Structure 1
Amino acid sequence: MKHIVIGTAGHVDHGKTLLIKTLTGMDTDRLKEEKERGISIELGFAELKLPSGKQAGIVDVPGHERFIKNMLAGVGGIDLVMLVIAADEGVMPQTREHVDIIQLLQVKKGIVVLTKVDLVDEDWLELVTEEVREYLQGTSLRGAPIIPVSSTTKQGIPELLKTIDQFVEDTEERVSIGKLRLPVDRVFSVTGFGTVVTGTLLSGRISLGDTVEITPQGLTSRIRSLQVHGKKVEQARAGQRTAVNLTGVEVEEVHRGNVLVTPGSVDPSHRMDVRLLLLESAAKPLKNRARVRLYLGTDEILGRVRLLDREELGPGEEIYAQLELEEQAVAGKGDRFVIRSYSPMRTIGGGTVIDANAAKHKRYRPEVLEALATKEMGSPEELIAQFLAGKQGLFSDEDIATGIGLALGEVNVSVQKLVEDQQIKRIVSEKKDLFASWQVYEDWGKNIQQLAKQYHLEYPLREGFPKEEMRSRKFSFINSKSFQYLLQSLAAEGYIKLSDKTLAHPSVNEELPEVYQKTVNSLLAIVQQGGFQPPSWQEIIKSNKIKVTEAQEYLQYLLRTEKLVKLADEELFFAAEHYREAKQMIIGYLSQNRELSVAQTRDLLNTSRKYILPLLETLDRERVTRRVGDNRVLV
């Protein structure tokens, strides 16, 4: 079933709440103070059942100037607006401000409801109707149907319901794809259940048992229960008014303006790139660094406007700008916002988010404005190439889609074109392919290759640069598994050679420089001459007058190239051929005999207990032999 959210707008005391009660039977004035004062202070919600059987949610927003911020919190997620104007008063100040907000948020579908028609005569109603029609000519609601009603006598209510029904039929349902995003507009506690938040689901789906992140504070919670239009459901989807019961979160920890998201899907930010319009009705120009109140989703945040190409913005002008916020905000590309002057509080402008996690820009730079224009208006290929350009990291198609606000299917098609044109590089992985700018990828390859070459010059006896050390030192922004896929790609293209744990320059081979090979041969000869009774490593390096650190390099080389075998004793090593010989002699003996004692092994190899014990322990570890009492048997 299609789910549409309708929002009211209009001046205080023009009959919005009574109209909703007449349409739905529900009183959205839920606070005692609202009852006493006769005006809406907080957001109210109701369910509307239409003649066709369709359902819609109605958000009743306050009209009083003092409560504009609450109005903004409610209007952000609506599909259709009902602009309520009292026939006995006509267009009033808050009517105009609400219409400005509707335009800034680009709510393009609307119905004008002239209430209290029972209080005026036909001539007056005709004059007010004409005034409203003329006023709306320059707005996004021009041409909207104007329906006179009386919530008291029910005049015009059937026609209004029929018109709403038709609008709902013609309104496209929001697509439930992408990451979860639900801006919180109410928070309360229910005895026995705990914390409950409500909001309009802007994208994605949410299901019972899901884990969600509460941003920007980064809390995590699990969904205990869900309601849509007051009914329990197992899943809610984009476009639905949703109540979410959260576990493990206190009511004091969540606030209006927070956003429920898929864990890890967004990065809250203090800075955003935007296209900004200053309303023609603004009383004065907006100066660079002016302090404003930002209304984004259901949040209100103080911040400053950085004008990138001028010192002040005149009424009616539209430019690229940056918003520097005093608190973190959660947004996505294409989100609409409103700004109000800091003092006195008046709606002065708004616009569209272009980059929700922007870097700080230098002012008066043409290239900055060109880049913002590409971000805003560029083709999918241009947006993806720009998103990846210079970025240090590997990104999945989902990362790219989230980062630039495109549908995943559109990203899949576009990245294929960019890969074929060698603008971006595809890194094949086990689960999801990863992408990087081609230039960044080449820079990585050349950098790793150079580091590997330097490493080999510094440590010629080593196999290569340890992979994990390379990642932690130079590529900590890539996780270990993804880094392995990157190295495999670089190796396939000849940048490096890979072994199990190291990487090396492609020119590196096992042939050592003569000076090192000479020392290796000398050390190995000493061990070989010792047969089954070689000297300890300390004795060897002392006799050759080699520094301990240098000797360790030679030892690791001899072990890695399997010229030496380390026995269980840390200081004893057999030449590989003598170790193999000893092992075969022991296996041969045990093939003919049931057991082998330490003394028998000593006699068999004509050596001493000093070597026999670590040799037998080494064979035990290799699962060649097994100790039974003081003797050995074959495994």
Structure 2
Amino acid sequence: MNYLVIGTAGHVDHGKTQLIKALTGIDTDRLREEKERGISIELGFAYMDLPDGRRAGIVDVPGHERFVKQMLAGISGIDLVLLVIAADEGVMPQTREHMDIIQLLDIERGIVVLNKVDLVEPDWLELVEEDVRAFLAGSVLEDAPVLRVSAVTGEGLPALRETIGMLTAGLRERTGAGPARLPIDRVFSITGFGTVVTGTLVSGSLKLGDPVEVLPPRLVSRVRTLQVHNQKVQKAGPGQRVAVNLVGLETQEINRGDVLASAGFFKPTRRLDVRLFLLGNTPRPLKNRARVRFHLGAAEILSRVLLLDRDELAPGEECYAQVILEAESVAERGDRFVIRSYSPMRTIGGGRVIDANPPRHKRNQPQVLDRLATLEKGNPGELISQFLQGGPAPLNENEVAQGTGLEPDTVAAVCRELEAGGALRRLPGGGLLAHTDDYRRWERAVIGILKDYHGRYPLREGHPREELRSRAFTGFATARFQDFLQALEADGVVTLYPQSVALREFAGRELPEKARKTLAEMEGLFRVGGMQPPTTAQVLEKLGLPEPEGQEYLHHLIRAGTLVKIDNEWCFHVEAVEEARRRIGDYLAEHEGLSVGEARNLLGTSRRYTLPLLEHFDRVRYTKRLGDLRVLVRK
């Protein structure tokens, strides 16, 4: 791993910012108010080089209880935490809340820094360290090293640097595969460059020129420049603290908590299925539909918690829940989150996202709980199958990877296995996947709708494609629905026409004798009419057809190409149109132009019929009008 991110945690005024300055030489207090008050209000950033050549970004978070949401915005996505405890004060209220957050975010690597050792006597220091170790017992940092440091005198700093290197040496390298996702924790503007956002790139990579979007506001942009630790780079990878200069966006359009992502991959949501844990020190149970402050990445969103298998969650217990967000957010399976009580504000629990785009659930449903258990703990094959099953539309492999939290290469390999075993169906083109049960369910729905449609409209070519999608398959984007229809055609279920779809057996049917006779009589009336065809009303009256039924016969002949609809008033038999085309072509081969009067004499009809025919030939670009004349369009 070439890059890592270190975060600080700890009570206000325990020396986090001073410690970072001693380690890096960088003062992370950038606001005048911070310098005047001597505490961090906003996130601060620095970096340091480790002995083995790796560069570590450092996020300095506020310690004051009023600024816990800023702390949460900075500590998500870090590789190692420095829990700073002042030796002259020991464990304090925000030390405890920050430790709860570390626990809930499952940050397993950490160092406890006993800072300000220059201010206390050795005996006192021993007592404080003993108290700290008792405080850490049973936590994720129970076995973390406790180092005695003075940011003022420099005591213990070499050992701290060495320990950081040792603890992070075995970190698994993050791959840059998959779409980029960067929770935005700061937005600002630079004169001459425009809007810049910063954050820790938690997945994927960003390159100059990449198309990106800011979610959930769905702002489309492009990467103009990239910086990592104040140095311009061509590409940024996962785990790096990145500043991204965006094209065409204003700072007021973007907020902390938004997510910068590769364009077209992530879908904002107002619901998340989660495994929720309530801290044991929480003073009261969490009731169903309780309102909470939900912290995910750099975002804080007011939400309600729907407990799926109980009416309240007792302190120290965990369960499946659906978080109903009051504003959209972007998440992936496996993301860690924290919840704080609405009022008074304190950290009460957290957990892990299981499904980032779930449907609405009813409570106490065994099938819902079984599905969540599979999504949480199943092997990759079970996970992908469960994720796809019951979905509103087929998905591509990138979407499956995003929804399951699996690596894209793993998804591709497992999907091939599931496809070979018949569990998944891959649609034509190879890009979209559907669970076989869903595919058969969608197929049955299409067959049922088309049978009903053919029964009501036996003369029509087929059901309009887009009308079918909007009626029964609203979860499908238009392009995905067309892929699904192509799969049904490949299976021999349907026949596709340019704008419609019919059951295969219907497409090859022979019309009933009565319908064939009526069509022949209607065609005959238009053929006999020639260049002076009857109106539709005259035809329907002569054949004794009511308007709706008559229009069905008329449109059948138009679709078959037997009649040509010239405009909203007139239809001509195709033979008459072709004859008119031939006569006009022959005439214009020998003359420079054709007037309406000349065309009327040429066609042997009246102006009433001649003008619509000429306008039709203009529309199909056989002729064009130049003043009062028509000329041939030269191809």
Q: Same fold (TM over 0.5)?
A: yes
Deviations 1:211-267 (A, max 9, x none): 432222333333333221011223222111112233443333322222222334333
Aligned residue number for residue 507 of structure 1? 505
Mean CA deviation greater in 165-174 or 374-383: 165-174
**Within 5 Å, which residues of 2 pair with 1:363-402?**
363-402=363-402
What corresponds to 2:110 in structure 1? Answer: 110
Contact 2:73 2:297 in 1 (8 A): yes
**Structure 2: distance between partners of 1:414 and 1:234:** 33
Q: Which amino acid aligns with 1:358?
A: P
Change (3 A) 1:493 1:46: same
Asked whether the equivalents of residues 62 and 71 of structure 1 are also in contact (C-alpha less than 8 Å), the reply is: yes
With 356-365 and 96-105 compared, the bigger mean Cα shift is at 356-365
Deviation at 1:626, TM superposition (A): 10
State the aligned residue count. 629
Aligned partners of 2:523 and 2:573 also within 8 Å: no
Alpha-carbon distance change, 415 to 122 in structure 1, aligned in 2, over 3 angstroms: same
CA distance in 2, matches of 1:601, 1:188: 70
Moved more, 123-132 or 378-387: 123-132
Kindly provide the amino acid, as one letter, of the partner of residue 285 in structure 2.
P
SS across alignment from 1:454: helix
How much has 1:338 moved relative to structure 2? 1.5
Aligned residue for 1:195? Answer: 195
Instruction: Verify the 8 A CA contact 1:354 1:375 in the aligned structure 2.
Output: yes
- Other structure's SS at 2:169 match: helix
Partner of 2:79: 79
Distance across 1 between alignment mates of 2:291 and 2:525: 80
Q: Which residue of 2 aligns with 1:67?
A: 67
Cα drift, residue 320 of structure 1? 1.4
Structure 1 contact 449–504 (Cα < 8 Å) conserved: no
Which residue matches 2:12? 12
Q: Would you say 1:295 and 2:304 are equivalent positions?
A: no
Q: What is the alpha-carbon distance in structure 2 between the residues aligned to residue 2 and residue 272 of structure 1?
A: 33
Letter in 2 for 1:91: V
Q: Displacement, 1:136?
A: 2.5
Matching of residue 497 in structure 1 with residue 504 in structure 2? no
Q: Deviations over 1:161-200 (max 9, x none)?
A: 1222233432233322222221122233334434332211
- Whether contact under 8 Å (1:446, 1:495) holds in the other structure is no
Unaligned segments of structure 1, at least 5 residues: none
Contact 1:463–1:502 at 8 Å: present in 2 too?
Answer: yes
Counterpart check, 1:48 vs 2:48 = yes
**Alignment check: 8 A CA contact 2:280 2:316 kept:** yes
How far apart, in 2, do the equivalents of 1:497 and 1:91 lie?
73
| Alpha-carbon shift at residue 525 of structure 1 (Å) | 3.9
The answer to whether structure 1 residue 234 and structure 2 residue 220 are counterparts is: no
Pairing 1:419–2:424 present: no
Q: Given that residues 278 and 348 in structure 2 are in contact (C-alpha distance below 8 angstroms), is that contact kept between their aligned partners in structure 1?
A: yes
Q: For the residues of structure 1 that align with 2:230 and 2:188, how far apart are their CA atoms? A: 15
Aligned counterpart, 2:428: 428
**Which aligned pairs between 1:30-49 and structure 2 lie closer than 5 A?**
30-49=30-49
Whole-angstrom distance in 2 between the partners of 1:44 and 1:634: 70
Q: Answer whether contact 2:621 2:633 (CA < 8 A) is retained.
A: no
Change (3 A) 1:546 1:311: closer
2:451 matched to 1:453?
yes
Contact 1:567–1:574 (CA under 8 A) maintained in structure 2: no
Q: Using the TM superposition, give the Cα deviation of residue 519 of structure 1 relative to its aligned residue in structure 2, in angstroms.
A: 1.9
Q: 1:211 touches 1:221 (CA, 8 Å); kept in 2?
A: yes
Indicate how the Cα distance of structure 1 residues 437 and 525 shifts in structure 2: closer, same or farther if over 3 A, else same.
same
* Runs of at least 5 residues in structure 2 that lack an aligned partner in the other structure: none
Contact 2:182 2:201 in 1 (8 A): yes
Please give the alpha-carbon distance, in whole angstroms, between the structure 2 residues aligned to 1:155 and 1:630.
97
2-structure distance, mates of 1:489, 1:457: 24
Sort the Cα spacing of 1:612 and 1:65 in 2 relative to 1 into closer, same or farther, 3 A: closer
**Does the aligned pair in 2 maintain the 1:184–1:197 contact within 8 Å?**
yes
Q: 1:585 to 1:28 in 2, by over 3 A?
A: closer
Compared CA separation, residues 562 and 333, structure 1 to 2 (3 A): closer
Per the alignment, residue 25 of structure 2 pairs with 25
**Structure 1 residue 96: deviation in Å?**
2.5
Q: Is the 8 A contact 1:189 1:196 kept in 2?
A: yes
- C-alpha displacement of 1:334: 0.9
| SS class of match (1:507) | helix
> 1:2: how far off?
0.9
Any residues of structure 2 matched to 1:541-552 within 5 Å, and which? 541-552=540-551
Distance (Å, rounded) in 1 between the aligned partners of 2:211 and 2:17: 36
1:64–1:631: structure 2 CA closer, same or farther, 3 Å change rule? Answer: closer
1:585 shift after superposition: 9.3
1:254 maps to 254
Cα distance in 2 between the residues matched to 1:105 and 1:546: 74
CA contact (8 A) 1:85 1:112 kept: yes
Go from structure 1 to structure 2 and tell me whether the alpha carbon gap of 1:331 and 1:623 turns closer, same or farther (over 3 Å shift): closer
8 Å contact kept, 2:535–2:569 = no
Q: CA deviation at 1:336?
A: 0.8
Q: Which amino acid aligns with 1:73?
A: A
Q: What is the distance in 1 between the residues matched to 2:601 and 2:156?
A: 114
Shift of 1:633: 12
Q: For each residue in 1:610-635, what CA deviation from the matched residue of structure 2 results, as whole angstroms up to 9, or x when unmatched?
A: 78898898889889999997899999
1:583-598 paired onto structure 2 within 5 Å: none
Q: CA deviation at 1:427?
A: 1.0
Task: Measure the CA separation in 2 of the matches of 1:250 and 1:530.
Answer: 66
Say whether the 8 Å CA contact 1:595–1:633 is kept in structure 2: no
In the TM superposition, residue 72 of structure 1 has moved relative to its aligned partner by 1.7
| Residue 81 (structure 1) shift | 1.0
Structure 1 residue 24 displacement after superposition: 0.8
1:519 paired residue number: 518
Residue 166 of structure 2 corresponds to 166
Which residue identity does 2:4 align to in structure 1? I
Matched ranges for 1:92-171 at <5 A: 92-171=92-171
In the aligned structure 2, how far is the partner of 1:521 from the partner of 1:185?
73
Offset of residue 567 of structure 1: 7.2
Q: How far 1:601 sits from its partner (Å)?
A: 10
C-alpha distance in 2 between matches for 1:479 and 1:413: 26
Alpha carbons 1:222, 1:246 under 8 Å: kept:
yes
Question: Amino acid of the residue matched to residue 7 of structure 1?
Answer: G
Contact 1:537–1:573, Cα closer than 8 Å, also in 2: no
Deviation at 1:335, TM superposition (A): 0.9
Q: Using a 3 Å threshold, how does the CA distance of structure 1 residues 435 and 94 change in structure 2: closer, same or farther?
A: same
Matched, 1:469 2:430: no
Q: In the alignment, residue 42 of structure 2 is paired with which amino acid? A: E
Deviation at 1:444, TM superposition (A): 2.4
Cα deviation per residue 1:79-129 (whole Å; 9 max; x = unaligned)?
111122223333333222222211111111112222222333444434433
Secondary structure in 2 aligned to 1:91?
coil
Distance in 2 between the 1:186 and 1:425 partners?
Answer: 43
Equivalence map 1:431-442=2 (5 Å): 432-442=430-440
1:395–1:153 distance in 2 versus 1, CA, 3 Å: same
Alpha-carbon distance in 1 for matches of 2:615, 2:121: 108
Is the 2:341–2:347 contact (alpha carbons within 8 Å) kept by the matching residues of 1? yes
Deviation at 1:285, TM superposition (A): 2.8
**Once the 2 structures are TM-superposed, how far is the Cα of residue 46 of structure 1 from its aligned partner?**
1.0
Amino-acid identity (%)? 53
Report SS of the residue matched to 2:412.
Answer: helix
1:536/1:573 contact within 8 Å kept:
no
Does the CA-based 8 Å contact 1:569-1:614 persist in structure 2? Answer: no
Structure 2 matches for 1:279-428, cutoff 5 A?
279-428=279-428
Matched residue SS, 1:353: strand
Equivalent pair of 2:84/2:115 in contact (CA under 8 Å): yes
CA distance in 2, matches of 1:345, 1:353: 22
Q: TM-score, normalised by structure 1?
A: 0.87
The aligned amino acid for 1:472 is S
The aligned amino acid for 1:183 is P
Alpha-carbon contact 2:623-2:631 (below 8 Å) kept? no
Q: 2: distance between equivalents of 1:545 and 1:4?
A: 83
- Deviation for aligned residue 1:461: 2.3
DSSP 3-state at the match of 1:129? helix
Once residues 15 and 30 of structure 1 are traced to their aligned partners in structure 2, the CA distance between those partners, rounded to angstroms, is: 16
Question: Superposition RMSD on alpha carbons, in Å?
Answer: 3.5
| C-alpha separation in 2, matches of 1:300 and 1:214 | 16
Q: Secondary structure at the match of 1:170?
A: coil
Structure 2 CA distance, aligned partners of 1:361 and 1:211? 35
Give the secondary-structure state (helix, strand or coil) at the position aligned to 2:395: coil
* Corresponding residue for residue 213 of structure 1: 213
